[in-house]
Structure 1
C-alpha cells in the first residue's frame, strides 16, 4: 500500500501542475489586426489594448481579457435586410414633419466601438440605445423640417443635423460608441393616394414657377422691344426736327434775299414774282369753251385730258417753300 505521505505528494504535484498549466495557458493572449481588447482585474476594467500582436497578463482568475471588433458596424433604422429581402418597420419610420404632414423615413448609421470598457459595462444593450437615439434624433429633425424640403432638396441638411444630434447623444450616454456617418435612405409619403396628391401639388407648383418665368421673360422681351422702338422714334424725331429746322432756315434766307431785292426795286420784283408764278401755273391749266344758251351747258375742251401735263410731285419741303 502507498503511504499517506506519497498520496499527499502526488496530490500536491497534480495541483501544482494544474496551476502551472493554467498560468502558462492564461498569461498570454493575441490581438488581431481587426480586434481590440480590454483587461479586467477581478472584474474591474483596467485598460484597453488596440495594438495587434502577442500580449501578457496575470493568469486567470486574477485577470481576464475581452476582445471586441474594431470594424465599422452598420445600423439599419426602419428596415432590415434578410436573405436579399427587405423587411420594413413602418411603425418606427412614421414621423410628422414641421408642417404637420406624415412621412416615412429610414436611415443607415455607421458606427464603431471607441471605448471597449464602456461598451461592455456602461449599458446592458448599447446597440439598442443607439437605435433609440437614432429614432429620437431623426424624429426631432424631421419634426422641424417642412415636407417639401424633406422630400426634395433638404435631405443633405437633415443628414447633417441628425449626425450632430446623434453624436451629441452618444457623448451624453457615454456607452463607448462613436458615430462615423449617417445616410438618409428614403423619405416618402405613407400611401399611394397621399403620394399622388402631393405629386399633383408639386407639379402645380412647378407649373406655376414655369409660367411665371415665361411671363417674366415675355415681359422683359416686350420691354426691350418697346425701349428699342422708343429709341428709334426719338432718333427719327430728332432727325426730322433737324431737317425741318434747316428747311426753315433756308426759307428764311430765301425770303430775306427776295425781300432785299423787293426793297431795292418793288415794282420790278412784284412783276417778276407774278411772271414766275404764272409760268409755273399756266402750263397745267386747261381751257374750255362754254355755251350756255339752253337748258344744258355745253363745253368744248381745247386740250384732251391725256395730253394735259401733270404737275410735278411736290415734296414736303417744296410745299413748305410755297
Structure 2
C-alpha cells in the first residue's frame, strides 16, 4: 500500500510530465505557403508576420500564434450565388432621381494580420458597410444612362478608389484588389418598359436632330459656296475695272502728250475719230470751203468710194455747188 509521500511524488511526476509535454507541444509551429502568422506575446501582437516554415516560440500561455490565409476573398454585395433565394436586393437612387438595383463583387485580401485581428471585432462587416457606402455614393452622383450603358467601367473605377480610401482610413488590415459590377438593372418590368420608351423617344429626338443638323450643314455649305463665287466674281470685276481705268488713264496721258506737242493736228484727229464713232456707217466728206462756190456731192448713190477732200484749186466753184446740194439733200432726208 502506497504512502502519502509516494502519492504526492507520483502526482508531481504526472504534473511535471504534463507541463513538459505542454511546453514541448506549444513551443513550435509551422506556417504553410498559403498562410501568414502573427506571434502574440501576452496578448500583444508582434510586428510583422512570420515567414512560411517551421518556427519556435515560447510555450503557451506566454506566446500564441494566429494564422490567417493569404488567399484573395470575394465579397458579394447585393447578390450571393450560394444564397440566391435569400440574397438582399440592393436598390439605390441615381443622380437623376431614378431607382435601380446593382450587384457588386469585391476582391480583397488580408495584408496586415495584426490589424485584422485586433482593430475591429468584425472586419468583414466593416468591409461590407464600406462597400455599400462607396457604391451608393457613386451611383447617387451618376445618371441612370451611365449606370445602365457604357458608364459602368467609370463607375467601377470610382467605387474602387473610394473603397480603397475608406479601408485605409478604417485600418482593419484589408486591401481591396478589384471591384466588378455584376448586374445593374431597373427594379421591375413596369419601370423597365417606361425607361425603354423614354430611351426610344430620346433616340428618335437625336435622330431628328442629326438630320436637321445635316440639312443645316448642307444649306450652309451651299450658301458658303455661293458667297465665295460672288466674292470671286466681284474681285474679278474689280481687277478688270482697275485695269480698264489704268488703260484709260494711260490713253488719256498719251493723248494729252500728243495734244501738247501738236494741238491742231490732235484736235482734228479727235474730231475725225468722234465722227467715225458717232456715224460709223455714214459717208463723210471733208472739204475746204470758202462759201462762194456751189458743190455737188452724190449723196444718194450707194458707193463705197469716198471723195478726196476738196482743195483750193480751179474746181472750187464746183465744190461749193456740191456742198449746197448736199445740204439740201440732207435737209430733205431729215
Same fold (TM over 0.5): yes
What is the RMSD computed on CA atoms of the aligned residues? 3.7
Counterparts of 1:151 and 1:106, CA distance in 2: 12
Give 2:78's aligned residue.
Answer: 78
Q: For residue 43 of structure 1, what is the aligned residue in structure 2?
A: 43
- Which of 195, 198, 201 pairs up with 1:201? 198
Structure 1: runs of 5+ lacking an equivalent: 250-254, 278-322
Alignment of 1:35-184 (within 5 A): 35-82=35-82, 86-87=84-85, 89-91=87-89, 93-184=90-181
* TM-score, reference length from structure 1: 0.69
Contact 2:39–2:50 at 8 Å: present in 1 too?
Answer: no
Q: 270, 276, 279: which is aligned to 1:258?
A: 276
2: CA distance, partners of 1:27 / 1:53: 14
Residues 224-243 of structure 1 correspond to what in structure 2 (within 5 A)? 224-231=221-228
> TM-score, normalised to structure 2's length?
0.67
Which structure has the bigger radius of gyration?
2
- After superposition, residues 309-320 of structure 1 pair within 5 angstroms as none
- The 1:140/1:236 distance shift into structure 2, 3 A limit, reads closer
Q: Distance in 1 between matches of 2:279 and 2:91?
A: 108
Structure 2, unaligned runs of 5 or more? 249-272, 287-296, 305-334
Deviations 1:27-56 (A, max 9, x none): 111111111111222333234424111111
- Give the 3-state SS of the residue equivalent to 2:190 in structure 1: helix
Partner of 1:16: 16
Task: Flag the 1:260–1:179 CA change in 2: closer, same or farther, 3 A.
Answer: closer
The separation in 2 between residues aligned to 1:98 and 1:129, in whole angstroms, is 26
Question: 1:179 deviation in Å?
Answer: 1.8
For the 8 Å contact 2:77–2:105, the answer to whether it is kept is yes
3-state SS of paired residue (1:172): helix
Q: CA deviation at 1:141?
A: 2.0
For residues 91-139 of structure 1, give each alpha carbon's deviation from its aligned partner in whole angstroms, at most 9, with x where no partner exists.
4x11111222111111111111122222223322221221122112211
Inter-CA distance 163–50: structure 2 relative to 1 (3 Å threshold) = farther
| 2:80 partner SS | strand
The number of residue pairs the alignment matches comes to 265
